[in-house]
Every structure is written in C-alpha cells, then in structure tokens.
Copies of this chain bind each other. A is one copy, B any other.
Amino acid sequence: MIKVGVVGGTGYTGVELLRLLVLHPEVELSVVTSRSESGRKISDLYPNLRGHLDIEFTEPDVDRLAECDLVFFATPNGIAMKSVPTLLEKGVKVIDLAADFRIKDPELWSQWYGMEHACPELLEEAVYGLPETSREQIAKARLVANPGCYPTAVQLGFLPLVKAGLVDASCLIADTKSGVSGAGRGASVGTLLCEATESMKAYKADGHRHLPEISQGLQWHSNDKVGLTFVPHLTPMIRGIHATLYANLTQDVEDLQALFEQAYKDEPFVDVMPVGSHPETRSVKGANTCRIAVHKPQNGNTVIILSVIDNLVKGAAGQAVQNMNIMMGLDEETGLRQVALLP
C-alpha cells in the first residue's frame, strides 16, 4: 500500500481526489490537511464520504506529511511551492494540482500569477504531468506539475495536428466552455446558482492564466512559433470542459481521423470517437477520459477538433491519480476504471 497525503482537501479538486483515493486499491490515505477545517471529520464536510473515510482534517504539518510516500497538493496557487522543497528533500514524491510548477520560465510565471516563485530552481526538474506526452519522464519524476483543466483538453485536441506540422501553428483558436466547478468552492457572488445558472458568458477574453501553459505545451511539440487565441466561457453546469478548437491546414491531409486514431491508439484515457461525432461532456462525467472528435466542414481547410473532459477528473484529480500510478509503478488505470455517470 502506498501512503498518501493530501494537502488542502476542502476544495472541489480535493474532494474529487478523496473520492478516487478512498476507492483506490493500492492507496492508504493517511493524512488530509486543511487549515480552515482542522479537527473536523472530513465526512462531515463531504457527506458523500460517510462510510468511506473516517479521518479528520489536520493542520498541515511537514513531519507528518514526510511519512507519506507521495503527497498531493490541492491547494490554491502559490502554496505548494513553499513546502515542496522540504518534502522532496525528505524523499517524498509530490504531485501539485495547482499551477506552481507548470510554467518553466519563472518570469513568465510571475507575470501571470502575480507573485515571486519560491523555488525557481525546481522548475526545470518538475515534469509536466500530461501522460500522453511525458509518460516516461513522469515515471522517473520526484515532482509532477499536474496540468490545468483547460490545458489538458486543449493540448490533447491540438497535439496530433501540431506534432505532425499540418496546421498553421501561429493562428490557433481555442474556444472553451467550462462548468462552474472550475471556479472552485470559495464563496463568491459570481458563482452563486442565481448568478451562474441559466446564463452563458465568456470571461478573461483578454488573457487567462492557462494561455501561457497551453502555448508552452504546444510549443514543445511544434517546429513553428505557436500563436493561440484562447477564450474561456462559464457554462451553467457543475462539471465538464468542452474545447472547440480551430486550426487552418497548411497542406492536404488524406485522413485526419486516422491521424488522431493513430496518435491515441495506445492511450487508455483518450477516446477518439467515430467520424461525425459530437462528444458530450456528460459522457465523461466522473470519468478520467478525454473524448475527441475531428471535423473538416465543407471539406475546407479549417479543422475543428471537439475535445471534452471532466475538469475535476482528467482535468485535475483523475489525471493526478493517473500520474501517481505511473510514478509508483502501478498499472496506470488502477482505481480509474470508472464509468461516467449518465444521465
């Protein structure tokens, strides 16, 4: 059994991680920390865990965390970077579900996240945890930066095209729609039911923090300079990201469908759907799957990729567990063979 700790278990990413971990056959969940809820039974806050998890939230404590084999950080941005160096030193592996280790360039990171990085020396070592591109590095990593939700859906959609050099990388468009759980569990007027349901809106059209993360990831696999327009939208539902991706082909391609099927044929968590499909976010609700469909309307030179994930699973907690499985030498699907809850 792997001894696992979770730092910051009270947000939506945290509770989803707990849901997956309590059912994981190889995991012993030994510590879950929360400053605000310390001393409270976890299942009091999250009654879905009644009967599955009997421990309490505790104060974050490096010594206790150091007894774990692996620690997940499900904290706000800027928290993990303060404790990660110590934990790594003590031989604990770390997966950060926040953004602290996602961007390689500390200045770029500071620019988008509005703070100084606490341990820029670790940025190079940290492995960007998208298993579909970096499985081998993840297997050897001490520190994994779990990708953001939008970046997961957008990169998995664009990568086969960008890698193959088939599209004009300078002019990519990602129109993305997210459920409200992406905004977290903090009390705020904008995500009240009465504000967010029965309405649709774009936000941060002038620049969202996931933009540099996506650009960086695509650039790693592109020979040409990547230029991305990225507009996120708030959608009146709890879970799900729908990325609608637009790119212009720079050459004739015989079979885009085959390109995608080939790219993901060995991937347990990426499902390329049949020609003509329109994946629904509900088809991945609660599951660690990214479903993708490819369209080339009117046989023109614009390609449309539709890519859906559950932002809390493949976009956060599920991918983190997938990374843990890889890091700990387990079967990658352990504890993740869940069927989406439909309807």
Instruction: Give residues in A with beta carbon < 8 Å to B.
Output: 12, 15, 19, 22-23, 46-52, 171, 173, 175, 177, 179-181, 185-189, 191-203, 205-207, 227, 229, 231, 233, 235-240, 242, 244, 246, 248, 271, 273, 276, 278-287, 289, 291, 295, 297-298, 300, 302, 304, 306, 308, 337-343
Contacts and interface: CB of A to CB of B under 8 A. Distances in A.
B283 A286 contact: no
A177 B48 contact: no
Contacts of A207: 297-298
Contacts of A298: 206-207
Given A198-B285, A276-B206, A282-B198, A177 B342 contact: no
Contacts of A280: 47, 199-201
Nearest to A295: B205
Contacts of A233: 177, 242, 244
A180 B194 contact: yes
Contacts of A206: 276, 295, 297-298
A198 to B, nearest CB: 5
Contacts of A227: 300
Nearest to A269: B51
Given A192-B185, A193-B197, A194-B185, A22 B339 contact: yes
Contacts of A189: 185-187
Nearest to A275: B206
Nearest to A342: B48
B205 A306 contact: yes
A207 B295 CA distance: 10
A187 B185 contact: no
Nearest to A201: B280
Query: What's the number of copies of this chain in the assembled complex?
Result: 4
Nearest to A15: B342
Nearest to A52: B339
A191 B23 CA distance: 29
B297 A229 contact: yes
A5 B268 CA distance: 27
A306 B308 CA distance: 23
A339 B19 contact: yes
A137 to B, nearest CB: 26
20 contacts: A19-B339, A47-B273, A48-B284, A48-B287, A48-B339, A48-B341, A48-B342, A52-B337, A177-B233, A188-B192, A195-B343, A198-B240, A201-B278, A201-B280, A202-B304, A203-B278, A229-B297, A231-B244, A233-B244, A235-B236
A231 B304 contact: yes
Nearest to A23: B339
Contacts of A195: 185, 193, 343
Contact of A281 (B199, B306, B338): B199
A49 B273 CA distance: 12
A202 B340 contact: no
Given A180-B193, A192-B192, A200-B281, 16 more contacts: A19-B339, A22-B339, A23-B337, A23-B338, A47-B279, A48-B341, A49-B339, A180-B192, A191-B192, A193-B238, A199-B282, A200-B242, A201-B308, A206-B295, A285-B341, A341-B341
